Structure 1
Amino acid sequence: MSEARGRRERPEPPEPLPAPTVDAHTHLDACGCETAADVVEVMDRAEAVGIARVVTIADDLAAARWVVRAAQWDERVTAAVALHPTRTATVTEDEFAEIERLAAAPRVVAVGETGLDYYWDHSPPQAQQKWFRRHIDLAKRLGKPLMIHDRDAHDDVLRILREEGAPETVVFHCFSGDAAMARECVDAGYLLSFAGPVTFRNAKPLQEAAAIVPDDHLLVETDAPFLTPHPHRGRANEPYCLPWTVRALAALRGVSDGEMAEITRLNAERVFGLDELPLAAVAETATAADARSS
């Protein structure tokens, strides 16, 4: 497997979880995966510590094409497809039409990640908001969850969801708000997914938010290869690193590691319909996919 470009060495694996769970948001291509064999290698490492499944996320058109193939290479992998808000400055209608086609694939379980990012200035707010609205419409038309990227844009993200009418299921990936925002999201019926930052020592507002989210609104993720959890912050992240975040959430919420793993697994299976996915497609297309990637 190719090492992720410019990433530091991976940490040693954590102690396996006492129950399996799901990484609700990762980027296997950015972790260095290119071929079916790469994906299997990453997933074997993850499964060895209790990560039974992952949702691998696209943030541009090339990644969207790749994640749809990757979800056919290994039954432990599903996909989400969208254009990241920082990629929206020059989107064409033809490009979005291809995103629409890819998002309809059977093993694509969400439209994402989409939303707003006011931290970076790669795309103007007007373009981000336009394409966020288009992704909201796409999720509603497909009947699939909407997976949101929200960085320094809480008010506008929530406003646009209200204006457009949110899809039935909305997931805030790598939730970054405080307890007040968490309550607002939960009241609206949204799910909150927590990543490595909830383990950071300087993340008290985020930890307070994680402590109050009802069990049925909670997911956990790596966002790998980014946001590696404490105590390995700054090193390369991968789905097998998720147990550190699961254990941090369990401690914050006063439950056992096994309970936390079970809660987040059941929520991911329900939200993304993981037990309803066609698995026959994996066996039928894996050989062809391998041929294309070699």
Structure 2
Amino acid sequence: MAKKKDSGEAPPAPEPLRIAVADSHTHLDMQGGTVAAAIAKAAAAGVDTLIQVGCDLAGSRWAARTAEEYENVWATVALHPNEAPRILLGDPDNWSRQGERAAGGTAALDAAIDEIAELAALPQVRGVGETGLDYFRTGPEGVAAEQHSFRRHIEIAKRHGKALIIHDREAHDDVLRILLEEGAPQTVVFHCFSGDAEMAKVCAERGYYLSFAGNVSYKNAQNLRDAVAVAPLDRLLVETDAPFLPPAPYRGRPNAPYLIPLTLRTMAEARGADEDTLAAAIAANTARAFGY
């Protein structure tokens, strides 16, 4: 029998958490419905704080405005790693024309990052990110642009005393190396942690936070469950990255902050931990990391 295609409808609400936590990384601007409705639905599930993450200039401006308007929403601002080569090199189909674009592209990229720096100074903005490196989507032509952008975002986070939110896809070694070369900010969060237990130990030794998304529940993600199991309790965060990466059994359907309980319960199971103990620790960790 052919597998039934997913309806794409929103998953049902899970049993609420008894101890409220924060969604440390969400994209409300990419989700359906209103911000107020998303906040209310999350709160009913035991998710009382949302960290709205910017990925480009427009999204970062929106994040800052939304966090100013809603009491339990905080913002982070940045150019996503994949944005840097787009700004620097233009249309990826024409990256062979890099030499013709470099001068104007560098000025445009630095101007965009300068605006991110201005937004990062706002009190409702509690992080700089998501920044980092993504070698999955960016080819060799874009690596220099990504690394330049990443280094500048690190400096911005340190200048304003804000958390640095890392996007790391197929770039573990370079991300860790650049953090050492530049000197990491006091607070570093690896969003949607994608490493294994050994990388989790390295991050923990350096005092970085590890945030896990719904993919920790996927059958092929034993590396993530192993990482959850070895990470120190005081370094763990939970997120949705919504509308992406919904937890099992809703893979392929739209994710949202109200589904955090499913991810947290997978994390608790991987650690052999009590759900309430883990939730209390994650709530405290997120408040400490983002300073709210």
TM-score, normalising length from structure 2? 0.88
In structure 1, distance between residues paired with 2:138 and 2:84: 11
Amino acid at match of 1:137: E
Q: CA deviation at 1:258?
A: 1.4
Select between 139-148 and 113-122 the one with higher mean Cα deviation.
113-122
CA deviation after TM superposition for structure 1 residue 205, in Å: 1.3
Partner of 1:271: 289
Does the CA-based 8 Å contact 2:113-2:152 persist in structure 1? no
The match for 1:199 among 217, 223, 237 is: 217
Q: C-alpha displacement at 1:95, in angstroms?
A: 1.6
Give the conservation status (yes or no) of the 8 Å contact 2:81–2:134.
yes
Q: Does 1:164 align with 2:182?
A: yes
Counterpart of 1:178 (choices 167, 178, 196) is: 196
Q: Is the 8 A contact 1:68 1:108 kept in 2?
A: yes
* 1:228 Cα offset (Å): 0.2
In structure 1, the residue matched to 2:47 is 51
Structure 2: stretches of 5+ with no match in the other structure: 1-6, 89-107
* Secondary structure, aligned partner of 1:46: helix
Match of 2:59 in 1: 63
Unaligned 5+ runs, structure 1: 1-6, 275-294
Say which of 131, 146, 149 aligns to 2:149: 131
By how many angstroms is 1:253 displaced? Answer: 1.1
**Partners of 1:14 and 1:269 in 2: CA distance:** 24
Amino acid at match of 1:173: H
1:52 is displaced (CA, Å) by 0.5
Deviations 1:148-177 (A, max 9, x none): 000000000001001111111100000000
Distance between the aligned counterparts of 1:209 and 1:95, measured in 2? 35
Q: Is the 8 A contact 1:39 1:73 kept in 2?
A: no
Match of 1:72 in 2: 68
Helix, strand or coil at the partner of 1:174: coil
- In the other structure, the counterpart of 1:287 is none
Trace 1:1-294 onto structure 2 (pairs within 5 A): 8-32=8-32, 38-89=34-85, 90=87, 92=108, 93-121=110-138, 124-274=142-292
CA RMSD of superposed structures (Å): 1.2
Count of matched residue pairs: 264
Q: Write the distance in 2 (CA, Å) between the matches of 1:160 and 1:8.
A: 39
- Where 1:53 maps in the other structure, the secondary structure is strand
Provide the rounded CA distance (Å) in 2 between the counterparts of 1:32 and 1:104: 29
Give the structure-1-normalised TM-score.
Answer: 0.88
Counterpart amino acid of residue 27 in structure 2: H
